Chains A and B, each alone.
Chain A
Amino acid sequence: MKLVKLTPATELIDFDCQDEDLNSFLIDDAKGFLEKRIANTFILEDEGNIVAYFCLLNDKISRQDVTNSQWKRIKGSFPDRKQFSSYPAIKIGRFAVSSKYKGQHIGTDLMNLLKGMLNENPNYSAFRYITVDAYMSAIDFYKKNDFKLLSEKIENDHTRLMFFDMLELG
C-alpha cells in the first residue's frame, strides 16, 4: 500500500466507508480545500483502490483566563503561572477507512504514521497538539491512540473534540 498526498490531478475513484459525510468530503470537497489552501488530504492506496484517507489543517486550542476566585482556588496546582492563552495545533479534519478494509488495524497503523510524520519531519512552524472532532462511534478508537477529550461536557449528539499532546514524544 502507498500513502500519497492528494493533488489536483489525483483520480478519485469509488470510496465507501459507510458514512455519507466522510465519503462526500473526499469525492466532492477535498480538492477544493486543497486549491483554497484550507486542508491537505492524504490517501492510502492499494493497487488503485482507496483504502483510507485523512486531511490535515491548522488549528489552535484556546483557553479563557480563569476568574480571580477560580484562580485562588486552584493556584496551588500551578506553581509556575506562565501559560499561553492559545496553543497551536494541527487538526485532523477527516479520517476514514474504507469498509472493505475495516478490522485490519489499518486505522491505528495510519494514525501512528501520521503522528510519526508530524513528529519527525522538519517543521517550519511549531505546533503542540493534534486535535480532532471525533464521531461518537470513533471516540474509543481515538482513546486507544492516546487522544483525550477536550471537554467533559457533551455539546452535541454527533461529535466530541479530542486532542493528542505532541509533547508526550521526545
Chain B
Amino acid sequence: MARPIAETPVLKGEDAIRFDRLRLEVENLSNEQRAENTKKLNEAIKKAKEYITICI
C-alpha cells in the first residue's frame, strides 16, 4: 500500500495573503499575456505529440 494522497490544507495568515496576491496577479493578466502563454503551451504540446499519441 502506497502512502495516501495528501490533503491540501487550509491556508492561514501569511500563507493565505500570499496565495491571494499570486491569485490576483494572474487575474490581472492581460488577454494578450494569456494568449501568449497558451501559444507557448500549444507549441510544447505539438512537440510532445510528435512521439506521443493520446488514446483517451
Closest chain A CB from B34 CB (angstroms): 4
Chain B, 6-32, contact with A by CB distance < 8 Å: what is the 0/1 string?
101111111111111111101101010
Give the number of chain B interface residues (Cβ < 8 Å): 43
Closest chain B CB from A18 CB (angstroms): 15
Closest chain A CB from B47 CB (angstroms): 7
Main secondary structure of the interface of A (DSSP, over half): mixed
- A127 is an interface residue with CB less than 8 A from chain B: no
The answer to whether residues A115 and B41 also contact, given A42-B56, A60-B8, A131-B8 and a CB cut-off of 8 A, is yes
Q: How far is the CA of A110 from the CA of B55 in the complex (A)?
A: 14
Chain A, 11-37, contact with B by CB distance < 8 Å: what is the 0/1 string?
000000000011011001100000000
Q: Are A93 and B5 in contact (CB under 8 A)?
A: yes
Taking CB atoms, residues of chain A closer than 8 Å to B10 are 62-64
Q: Are A66 and B16 in contact (CB under 8 A)?
A: yes
Taking CB atoms, residues of chain A closer than 8 Å to B20 are 63, 78, 83
Closest chain B CB from A69 CB (angstroms): 11
The answer to whether residues A4 and B55 also contact, given A112-B45, A131-B8, A152-B15 and a CB cut-off of 8 A, is yes
Closest chain B CB from A80 CB (angstroms): 9
The answer to whether residues A148 and B22 also contact, given A24-B2, A59-B8, A89-B8 and a CB cut-off of 8 A, is yes
Which chain A residues (120-170) contact chain B, with CB distance < 8 Å? 131, 133, 148, 150-153, 155, 159, 161, 165, 167-170
Q: Are A91 and B53 in contact (CB under 8 A)?
A: no
Main secondary structure of the interface of B (DSSP, over half): helix
What interface size band does chain A fall in? 35 or more
Q: Are A2 and B8 in contact (CB under 8 A)?
A: no
Q: Are A3 and B55 in contact (CB under 8 A)?
A: yes
Task: Offer 30 A-B interface pairs, CB within 8 angstroms, sorted by A.
Answer: A2-B52, A21-B2, A22-B2, A29-B1, A44-B52, A61-B11, A62-B8, A62-B10, A62-B11, A63-B10, A63-B19, A63-B20, A64-B12, A66-B17, A70-B17, A91-B8, A94-B5, A113-B48, A116-B42, A133-B8, A150-B15, A150-B19, A151-B11, A152-B14, A152-B18, A161-B9, A165-B23, A169-B37, A170-B35, A170-B37
